[in-house]
Amino acid sequence: MSSTFAFAQQRGNDVGGQPARRKVTKYPVLVTFIQAPYPDEERASGREASVVLEIEIAESGQVTRARVLQGASSAFDEAALAAARQFVFTPAEVDDKPAPSKITYRYDFVWRDVEAAAAPDSASASASGSASVSAPASASSPSPSPDEVRVRGTARARETVAYKVSAGQARRVPGTQGDVLKVVQNLPGVSRPPLASGQLVVWGSAPKDTRTYVDGVEIPALYHGSGLRGTINSDQIASIDLVPGAFSAEYGRGLGGLVRVDTKSIPRGTHGYVGVDTLDGSALVSTELGSRARISVSARQSWLDRVMAWTNARDVGDFFPIPRYRDGQIKATIDLRSHESLDVVVLGSTDDLTRTMPSADPAKTRSEATSSRFWRTYLRYTNVAEDGSTSTVTPFVGQDESELEQSFGQTPTHLEVRADRWGVRASHRMRLEDFLALEGGVDVLGTHSALDRRGSLTLPPREGDVSVFGQAPSDDYAADVWTTNIVNAAPWLIADLKIGPVTLRPGARFDAYLVEGSRQTPRIGATPEIGFSRLESAFDPRVSARWAVTPRMALTAAWGRYHQAPEPEDLSAVFGTPALALSRATHTTFGESIRVTDTLTAEVVGFYKTMNDLVVRSRLVNPMLARSLTQNGEGKSYGVQFLVRQELWKGFFGWVSYAVSRSERRYEGDELWRAFDFDQPHVLSIVASQEIGRLGFGARFRYASGNPRTPVIGSYYDARNDRYDPAFGEQNTIRIPAFWQLDLRVDWTQPLGRGLRLVVFADVQNVTAHENAEEIVYSADFRERSIIRGLPTLAVVGGRLEF
């Protein structure tokens, strides 16, 4: 299993003018090994491979360049390259002096665990597989016995339906403006969100039902409020994956899907960039703090509000709130001991959005202002034992704040929420036998919220309310100030059992909730403040299976139960119901995947999801005291999605994703179902990107059904308030016209020498200037209907200087 390498020979002249022969007196030795993660798509097929690399090493021992000489697949190649670029060697020496060198290096990905043998330092395997590495032997002298490092790890249980995209590919997807997190909008199972919302609607679930994690720590928002940017700097991200449903027992507290973001390991040396574009400006710098510590700092500031002032798009100022956002991240890594590390991470994000819809009558002017911010601080301790067992512990603290101010004439609406969050996530993975691995841990989250709400009982509207865009609020006015405390502790366990071609992953999660609030009843006169405290529990069994029918075809299935606690906003004694309990859902999936070639895959997945005990508004005209909301809602979501994906091949990658689905809701006991407010029966995404030398270009096409709306069939005059109010038809029986859009991207990379590189790009959205409908609106008397148009052609042009 030996490999060879050749040195870049240094030449000079002796006295006679002939090239002097120089002697290699020391070969490079690998001193810092970075374990490549076993690619999920390859792990799913159990495929093993070897990638032969050419690595150039500077006089300092740092890797200056790595390229693939003999590849296996784009996933294996990218994983091996990413790891090799972070290797550190003791430099080669020529005539006893440090000199640059070039070696060939074979990276073997082996799915089965192997024993550590003759290892000067057993490097840790990734959490999702194992790999073996052979160090180089000399080609210009008799080959010594190679230092052989074989490493192993425990396979990590993963979901049968999950879509992972590396940061390198994600930033090249057209329409994302180089933002890695925005690639989620193009993955199967994700509906197109309303313009400027930044919401995630996955497999027909409400936006608040889908959870987002960064290194296992939950954050409140994947995107800034406008949806134009992610809340985490792309250069801090290694990869992102979407699980639309049927996720493992490791995660809970949500009825929808989940998004996992893994931050990037900090490379050796000093690196960074400064970038500007139409949307914002950002910068990042990373450096070493000694031999065992590294730090990376990044920040971003928007200025789109100034750029949008130059456009002449109709209605954009009305419907599209111009965002102002900022975010920053700090990550430090400390190498404690061999196989043991500590990450310290700080994340922060703020958003402010304002929009005003003027009217000739000042009493009918509508305005809305929202602001939100969050921060997280967490430690992530990782320890990989000699036998490959992996332990992680991640304690965290943070705070979420949001504020909403709406007004329609003289009727204001105010909602302010501040939530202090704390928790810890701990896990341990170990392999007991070749066919059996176990993973278990505990997931704890505490949330103390302080809320202040004033205004109409029906504003802001919630899913299921019959309303129309721009409708005046009702005459009722109420106010409440309350606090809640929700603590969830959940032990969980997953087994990974391999029986021939079949892999079973049974798991279970037990959630215990403490739900507390400051008031059971509204404030009426001198009514004393009487709080509430109760315990809720849920047992959620889950199981997934994969049958490798052939080396290139597999069948999958998964089933699981899920629970979710009520939102603090819904536990108000005035605007909600303090007695709300847990909502629940059941996910079922089945699918087939085919590897057409080493880099081309096709997949079909069917899903069916039921939801019960959903929180809905009471249908009573005069609800009981402290019972404005009930849990009489139920829902179902079902459909089939198709994906054909071409991994990186000769500079090209892309995919075609199509989903046909339905999501419906009703009150328990009703005979008929209605369309979910975010239901989109057809969603199509086509993504293609090609890189030729320093030039990259690509295209993205999207099509999505319009969201359902309730038709206005008439109106009546309200003499007391001097206005017209709508008369509605059957709920959610019309739709906003379908959306389609073509986006293009082109970028150019120019090396500047001395480690500098300039990247310029143009990302053009809606190149055909198609006037997409974003909302249905009505005249003041509700007799005429029209639509609000979306964004026109918008070119995001920018560049970045990398070092």
Could you report the per-residue pLDDT of 404-453, keeping only the tens digit for each? 988 775 668 899 999 999 999 999 999 898 899 999 999 999 999 999 99
Cβ atoms 271, 63 nearer than 8 A: no
Q: What is the pLDDT of residue 316?
A: 52
In this structure, are 116 and 219 located in the same domain?
Answer: no
**Cβ-based neighbours of 802, under 8 Å, separated by 6 or more:** 271, 272, 273, 756, 757, 758, 759
Q: What is the pLDDT of residue 83?
A: 87
Cβ atoms 472, 359 nearer than 8 A: no
Q: How much is the average pLDDT of 285-298?
A: 93
Of 82 and 328, more confident? 328
Of 415 and 1, more confident? 415
Question: 3-state class of 141 per DSSP?
Answer: coil
In this structure, are 265 and 376 located in the same domain?
Answer: yes
**Cβ-based neighbours of 82, under 8 Å, separated by 6 or more:** 36, 238
Position 225 confidence tier, pLDDT thresholds 50, 70, 90: confident
In this structure, are 35 and 60 located in the same domain?
Answer: yes
Q: What is the DSSP string of 498-535?
A: EETTEEEEEEEEEEEEEEEES-SS---TT-----EEEE
Ramachandran bin of 46, using left for φ above 0, alpha for ψ from -120 to 50, beta for the remaining angles: left
Which letter does DSSP use for residue 305 in this model? H
Q: What is the pLDDT of residue 126?
A: 30
Domain count, the chain: 3
- Tell whether 411 is covered by a domain: no
Give yes or no for residue 300 having a pLDDT over 80: yes
**Cβ-based neighbours of 359, under 8 Å, separated by 6 or more:** 365, 366
In this structure, are 137 and 255 located in the same domain?
Answer: no
Average pLDDT, the chain: 84
Distance of CA 748 to the CA centre of its chain: 27
Q: What is the pLDDT of residue 46?
A: 59
Position 361 confidence tier, pLDDT thresholds 50, 70, 90: low
- Tell whether 699 is covered by a domain: yes
| Residues 243, 254: Cα–Cα separation, whole Å | 12
In this structure, are 544 and 512 located in the same domain?
Answer: yes
- Tell whether 428 is covered by a domain: no
**Cβ-based neighbours of 530, under 8 Å, separated by 6 or more:** 519, 520, 521
Give yes or no for residue 139 having a pLDDT over 50: no
In this structure, are 227 and 135 located in the same domain?
Answer: no
CATH number of the domain enclosing 171: 2.170.130.10
pTM: 0.81
- Tell whether 173 is covered by a domain: yes
| Residues 511, 206: Cα–Cα separation, whole Å | 21
Q: Which of 357, 474, 411, 432 is nearest to 777 (CA)?
A: 357
Q: What is the pLDDT of residue 36?
A: 84
Q: What is the pLDDT of residue 768?
A: 94
Q: What is the 3-state secondary structure (H, E, C) of 597-656?
A: CCCEEEEEEEEEEEEEEEEEECCCCCCCCCCCEEEEEEEEEEEEEEEEEEEEECCEEEEE
Q: What is the pLDDT of residue 345?
A: 97
In this structure, are 551 and 672 located in the same domain?
Answer: yes
Q: 86 phi and psi, to 5 degrees?
A: -105, 0
Q: What is the pLDDT of residue 8?
A: 36
Q: What is the pLDDT of residue 378?
A: 98
Domain with 175 in it: 163-259
Position 117 confidence tier, pLDDT thresholds 50, 70, 90: very low
Q: What is the pLDDT of residue 740?
A: 96
Q: What percent of the chain has pLDDT over 70?
A: 85
In this structure, are 264 and 310 located in the same domain?
Answer: yes
Q: What is the pLDDT of residue 1?
A: 31
Residue where one domain finishes, among candidates 128, 150, 172: 150
CATH number of the domain enclosing 82: 3.30.2420.10
Which letter does DSSP use for residue 231 in this model? S
CATH number of the domain enclosing 337: 2.40.170.20
Q: What is the pLDDT of residue 695?
A: 93
Residue where one domain finishes, among candidates 209, 240, 259: 259
| Residues 736, 728: Cα–Cα separation, whole Å | 16
Say which range, 126-135, 168-177, 390-399, has the weakest mean pLDDT.
126-135
Q: CA–CA distance from 366 to each of 48, 358, 718 (Å)?
A: 61, 6, 19
Q: How much is the average pLDDT of 558-567?
A: 97
In this structure, are 449 and 558 located in the same domain?
Answer: yes
- Tell whether 424 is covered by a domain: no
In this structure, are 460 and 359 located in the same domain?
Answer: yes
Q: What is the pLDDT of residue 436?
A: 92
Position 153 confidence tier, pLDDT thresholds 50, 70, 90: very low
Q: What is the pLDDT of residue 391?
A: 93
Say which range, 37-46, 86-95, 388-397, has the weakest mean pLDDT.
37-46
Q: Which of 364, 329, 386 is nearest to 154 (CA)?
A: 386
In this structure, are 204 and 299 located in the same domain?
Answer: no
- Tell whether 526 is covered by a domain: yes
Give yes or no for residue 747 having a pLDDT over 60: yes
In the chain, the amino acid numbered 404 is: L
Of 306 and 536, more confident? 536
Q: For residue range 585-616, what is the model confidence (pLDDT) as tens digits? A: 999 999 999 999 988 999 999 999 999 999 99
Q: For residue range 487-524, what is the model confidence (pLDDT) as tens digits? A: 999 999 999 999 999 999 999 999 999 999 999 999 87
Residue where one domain finishes, among candidates 259, 291, 313: 259
Q: For residue range 347-357, what is the model confidence (pLDDT) as tens digits? A: 999 998 877 66
| Residues 176, 107: Cα–Cα separation, whole Å | 33
In this structure, are 186 and 37 located in the same domain?
Answer: no
